[in-house]
Structures are given as structure tokens and as C-alpha cells.
Amino acid sequence: MIPSLLVGIALVMIFAWTMGLRERSRLAALGEARAEGGLDAASGSGSGSGGSAGGSGWWRAGRGAPATPRGGLITMAPALVRAETAAVSTLGTTMLDPDRETLRPRMIWFNLGLTIVVLALLIMDQLPLAYVFMVGAAIALIANFRDLKHQGERIAAHAPSVVGVVSMVLAAGVLIGVLNGTGMVSAMSAWLVTIIPDALGPGLAVITGVLSIPMTFFMSNDAFYYGMLPVLAESAANYGIDPVEMARASITGQPVHLQSPLVPAILLLVSLADVNLGDHHRKVLWRAVLVSLAMLAVGVLTAVIPI
């Protein structure tokens, strides 16, 4: 599956590049509109009586508009103002201030070492992950903020995002529990096997790859790979398809799975970036589907997924 993974990575890079170019064009258009508004306001203010700022240019620009080097006032359309305000608001909540009070330049090597130790413990998987995070966070908090008041302020500053993410993760866990506990996953697996025509049996690996895209989005990986895939693999064995080939096809849906609200990582990502999950899906989800389909197609072309 290495060729499929390389193609998927290449597509992600291409999408990132095109989105960056599009954002650059949007920002350029924003600057041009601002410059044109400044020239219009400057000419309008000069046409008034005595060329004073109290002429027609003042009323076109509105009170509080910034002045241009010519002495005119910038005219900005309401949509332009809203776009700029939204951009500034997003940057203000997600961009780190280089002069913030919480900066600890003298603790950089200690914090780096602590981060490496925590990551090593997570990779070794010898201790419960929750304990590793809790102890690491406690050590970082005590080492960087010696005062109890400042420690409380740091906890309070991050509490809203933590509570929101934890609530969404708990809700996702409840949904997964309902799907598994009620037997819905097993029923869906049996139903999928029965609706696949016998004529399509030799292509069951490709069908599994296509099904993995929506199924891993709407259910957890455990539910799909432990509940649904074994049933599909057992049916595929009747057509001479090896379980390993079915497993290869099933992982092509992972780019879409990682956008699922059942994945805690994506909930943490949108919370820290101050982005609405629906807006994120509108931008990313269809691109993730294309990446999954491209990986599946490359797997078929390289004969690691039978058809």
C-alpha cells in the first residue's frame, strides 16, 4: 500500500497548495478593494467646498474611517468590513502573542525535555495514557507557574475548550455504545452482505474499500474493523479473496474517518483553531473522499487490491 499512501500524501499537498493560492488571491483582492476605496474617498473629499474633510468624502466613508496619505478616507463595503473583522477575530483567538505574559523563555529546555518524555511514554504505551497526560500537565504547570493564583488562571483559561471537547467526546462515546450495545453494527454487517449480488462477489475487495469511506465516518474504527470487516472477509473468502487483501482495501477510507465527529482528535483540532466543525467539513470532507478514492484506485492498479 506504499504507492497508495504516497499518492494520498501528494494529493494532500496539492490541495494544501491550491487552497493557499486561493487564500492569497482572496487577501490580494481584499487589499485592492481597500486601496480603491481609499482613492475614491480621497477624490471625493477634494471635490467638496475648500477640499475639507467635512465634504462629500466624509459622508461616503462614514465616521471613524481611517485616513489615507492624501488626506482622504477609506471607503469599505459592508461585506469587506465583515470579512476583515472575521479574519482579525479568528487570528486574535488562535495566534500566539510573542509578548504574552505566559511566555517562559528560560524554561524552554525544560519544557522541551518534558514534552519528549511525555511523547516517549505515550509511544511506549506502558502506562495509562490519561495518567501520562495528567502527570505531565501537572509538572509543566508547577514548573512554569510557581504561584497558585497563576496556576488557577491558566486552568481557567483553558477550561472552556477542555469542557467542550470532553463533552463532545463523551457524546461520541455514547453513540458508539448505542451502536454496539443494541447490535446495530452486526445487523448492518449482515444486511450489507445480503444486498451485494453474487455477480459482484469477485469485486468484494473494491466494494469494501468504497464502503469503508462512509462506514468509518459514521461509526468507530473498532465497530467497522471488528464488527463489519470480518463478515465481509468471510464472504469474500468464497470468491478466493484473501483476508489481507480485504484489509488493504478497508484502510483506504481512513482519510475520511479522521474527519468524523467520533474522532476526538478532530474535535480538539477545531476547538483549538476556533473553527466550526460544519465549516471544516464543507472545506475538507469532499477532498478527503477524493484522496480515499485515489488511494483505492492506485491499490487496484498496483494489484494489491483484487478486482
Question: What pLDDT shows up at residue 98?
Answer: 65
Question: What pLDDT shows up at residue 84?
Answer: 52
Question: What pLDDT shows up at residue 55?
Answer: 42
Residue 49: CB atoms within 10 Å: 8
Task: Record the pTM.
Answer: 0.60
Please name the residues in contact with 79: beta carbons below 8 A apart, sequence gap of 6 or more. none
So where are the chain's domains? 38-88, 105-144, 181-301
Question: What pLDDT shows up at residue 13?
Answer: 94
pLDDT in tens, 11-52: 999 999 998 998 888 888 887 776 666 555 555 555 444 444
pLDDT in tens, 150-199: 878 888 777 776 777 777 777 777 877 777 778 777 777 777 777 777 77
pLDDT in tens, 79-91: 455 555 555 444 4
pLDDT in tens, 57-106: 444 444 444 444 444 444 445 545 555 555 544 445 555 666 667 777 78
Question: What pLDDT shows up at residue 17?
Answer: 94
Contact 219, 305 (CB under 8 A): no
pLDDT in tens, 119-151: 999 888 888 888 898 899 889 888 888 888 887
Cα(284)–Cα(282) distance, rounded to whole angstroms? Answer: 6
Residue 37: CB atoms within 10 Å: 21
Residue 73 phi/psi, 5-degree rounding, is -125, 140
